[in-house]
Amino acid sequence: MTNLDSALRVRGLRGGRVSDSTRAMKSMKKVGILTGGGDCPGLNAVIRAVVTRAEQLGVEVLGIRGGWRGFLEHDTEPLTRARTRGILHEGGTILGTTRVNPFQVKGGPERVEACFKAWHLDGLIAVGGEGTLSLAQKFHERGLAVVGVPKTIDNDLSGTEVTFGFDTALAIATDLIDRLRTTAEAHERVMVVEVMGRHVGWIAVHAGLAGGADVVVVPERPTTLEEITKVVLLRRAEGKTFSIVVIAEGALIQETDAQEAHLVLSNQQPDAFGRPRLGGIGAHVARCIEEATGIESRVTVLGHVQRGGTPTARDRVLAQRFGVKAIELMHAGQSGVMAALQADQIVAVPLAQATKRKAVTEDWLQVADVFCEGPDLSKNPPSGSSG
Ligand code: F6P
C-alpha cells in the first residue's frame, strides 16, 4: 500500500466503513443543512464535520442561510470543504440563524417542500434546539427526510446526555462568577448573577457548583424571596461578608407565601415561537434582597456572552461527533431522528423524544444543596431574618 493509499484509508476516503455506508444509500446525492434558534458555540464545528464527511460519502451539501428563513427567501450557499476550512474554533455560525417559523407564514410549509424539490435535496440536517427540532419533526411527519443535531447552551433536550454549547456556556459563566466573587468580597456585597437556560436550571446548577455559589435558584424548584434573604442574613451572622446568588432566567419566584410562584420578565414580547423572552429576574431579586436585608446588592446579567466566542475543546469534539453521525444517519436512509450522546456513544434517538424538555433532576439539586443553602439553615435560622 502506498503512503497516499494508507492516508486516504485513515481519512475514510478509501475502503473500510465508508464504502460499506456508500453501498447503504447510493441514491443520496445532496443534503441541506441549517442552523436555527439562538446560536451557540460549536455550530461551525458541526457544519464543517457534516461537509467533510459528506464529501467523503460523495454527497453535496447546500447551506440554508438564516435557519428556516433561507427556504422562504431562497437564501442558500453551496458548502464545500474549502468553504468550511478554518472555522472549527469559531463561534457563531457561517450560515446565520433566525427563529423564523415557516408554520407561521401563509403557505410556509409548502414553500419549504417546493424548495426541497427545486433544489434536488434528498434530506435536511437541522441543527437546533427545541424550537428548530420541533419544526424538523413536523417536516419529517409531512414526508421530508430530516435528521437533527442537538444544539443549545440550555441543555434542555431529552434523549441526549448533553447538547453541544452547554460546556462552553458553563465555562464562561464559571469564569465570570469567579470574577464577581473578588469584587463582591472587596465591597462586602451580595452579587446576584442571572444566567440563561430558558425554563431549566442546568447552567445555574452547574455554574453554581463550579463557581461556589451560596444560593442557586432554578425553575425546577420555585423559591420564595424569604428563603433567599435568609441565606444571605445567615452568612452575615456567621461573619461571611459577601454572598453569591446564582439565579436562572426562568426561575419561578414566590413574592409572599400567599402568592403563586411566577416568572419575572423585563420584556413582555414573546419570541417567534410564542415563547416568553426571559430575563429580568436578577435585577428584581437583587433589589428585594437589598430592601429586605439592608446589604448592598448588585446584579450581573451574563446574557449573550454565554453564547459567544470560541467553543471549548469538549464542545468542538462533541459537535464534530454529532455532525459526522447526522450525515451518516441521513446517508443510511434514516429520518425523524437526532444524533445524541448516551453513555459516551453517539446514537440515534427519535426527534419526537428529543424535543421533550429535560429538567434538572432532584439528585443534581441535592448536590447543590450540600454546598449552597447550608444544611443547618432550617435548624439555625438567623436572628433578624427579614421574612
Ligand atoms: O435557548 C438559548 C437561549 O440563549 C436561552 O438561554 C435564552 O433564553 C434565549 O436563547 C435568548 O434568546 P435571544 O437570542 O432571542 O435573546
Residue-wise pLDDT for 296-351, tens only, equals: 999 999 999 999 999 999 999 999 999 999 999 999 999 999 999 999 999 999 99
- Give yes or no: residues 291 and 254 share one domain: yes
Task: Answer with the residue of higher pLDDT: 27 or 79.
Answer: 79
Q: Which of 196, 202, 273, 281 should be mutated for ligand 1, with most atoms under 8 A from CB?
A: 196
* pTM for this model (two decimals): 0.90
Task: Please return the burial class of 2, using the count of CB atoms within 10 Å of its CB with bins 0-12, 13-18 and 19+.
Answer: exposed
- Quote the mean pLDDT of the chain: 91
Q: What is the pLDDT, as a whole number, of residue 41? A: 98
- Give yes or no: residues 331 and 344 share one domain: yes
Alpha-carbon Rg for the chain in angstroms: 24
- Give yes or no: residues 118 and 217 share one domain: no
- Please indicate, yes or no, if residue 233 is contained in any of the structural domains: yes
d(CA 264, ligand 1 centre) in Å: 15
Q: Whose CA is nearest to atom 15 of ligand 1?
A: 38
Whether 250 lines ligand 1, by a CB cut-off of 6 Å, is no
Name the band, by pLDDT with cuts 50, 70 and 90, for residue 22.
very low
Q: Which of 194, 218, 249, 278 should be mutated for ligand 1, with most atoms under 8 A from CB?
A: 278
- The minimum-distance atom of ligand 1 relative to the CA of 277 is 8
- Give yes or no: residues 287 and 185 share one domain: yes
Report the distance separating Cα 370 and Cα 387, nearest Å. Answer: 23
153: Cβ contacts below 8 Å, ≥ 6 apart: 38, 40, 41, 163, 165, 166, 168, 169, 196, 197, 203, 306, 307
CATH number at residue 234: 3.40.50.460
- Please indicate, yes or no, if residue 151 is contained in any of the structural domains: yes
- Give yes or no: residues 279 and 191 share one domain: yes
- Please indicate, yes or no, if residue 382 is contained in any of the structural domains: no
Residue 121 clears pLDDT 90, i.e. is over it: yes
How much is the average pLDDT of 93-116?
97
- Please indicate, yes or no, if residue 293 is contained in any of the structural domains: yes
Residue-wise pLDDT for 179-230, tens only, equals: 999 999 999 999 999 999 999 999 999 999 999 999 999 999 999 999 999 9
Report the distance separating Cα 313 and Cα 316, nearest Å. Answer: 5
The 10 Å Cβ neighbour count of residue 333 is 13
Name the band, by pLDDT with cuts 50, 70 and 90, for residue 383.
very low
Q: For residue 112, what are the domain limits?
A: 3-164+311-354
How much is the average pLDDT of 82-104?
97
Question: What is the DSSP track for 245-283?
Answer: EEEETT--EESSTTSPPB--BS-----TTS----B-HHH
The grid coordinates of residue 285 equal: 431579586
- Least confident interval from 20-34, 95-109, 285-299, 357-371: 20-34
- Please indicate, yes or no, if residue 387 is contained in any of the structural domains: no
Q: What is the pLDDT, as a whole number, of residue 223? A: 92
Report the distance separating Cα 247 and Cα 280, nearest Å. Answer: 10
The grid coordinates of residue 290 equal: 437589598
- Give yes or no: residues 158 and 35 share one domain: yes
Residue 26 clears pLDDT 80, i.e. is over it: no
- Please indicate, yes or no, if residue 348 is contained in any of the structural domains: yes
- Give yes or no: residues 178 and 200 share one domain: yes
- Give yes or no: residues 247 and 320 share one domain: no
Report the distance separating Cα 194 and Cα 200, nearest Å. Answer: 13
Report the distance separating Cα 196 and Cα 336, nearest Å. Answer: 28
What percent of the chain is predicted at pLDDT more than 70? 89
Q: Among 122, 154, 214, 315, which one carries the catalytic annotation?
A: 154
- The minimum-distance atom of ligand 1 relative to the CA of 197 is 6
Q: For residues 36 and 152, is the Cβ–Cβ distance under 8 A?
A: no
Cα atoms found within 13 Å of the Cα of residue 208, Cβ hemisphere only: 34
CATH number at residue 140: 3.40.50.450
Residue 7 clears pLDDT 60, i.e. is over it: no
How many domains would you assign to the chain?
A: 2
- Give yes or no: residues 294 and 173 share one domain: yes
Whether 307 lines ligand 1, by a CB cut-off of 6 Å, is yes
- Least confident interval from 117-131, 163-177, 270-284, 352-366: 270-284
- Please indicate, yes or no, if residue 380 is contained in any of the structural domains: no
Q: Is 154 marked active-site?
A: yes
- Give yes or no: residues 185 and 248 share one domain: yes
d(CA 25, ligand 1 centre) in Å: 37
d(CA 350, ligand 1 centre) in Å: 24
Cα pseudo-dihedral 244, 251, 36, 170, rounded to 10: 20
- Please indicate, yes or no, if residue 153 is contained in any of the structural domains: yes
- Give yes or no: residues 154 and 256 share one domain: no
Q: What is the pLDDT, as a whole number, of residue 258? A: 79
269: Cβ contacts below 8 Å, ≥ 6 apart: 277
d(CA 238, ligand 1 centre) in Å: 38
Residue 86 clears pLDDT 50, i.e. is over it: yes
Report the distance separating Cα 204 and Cα 170, nearest Å. Answer: 9
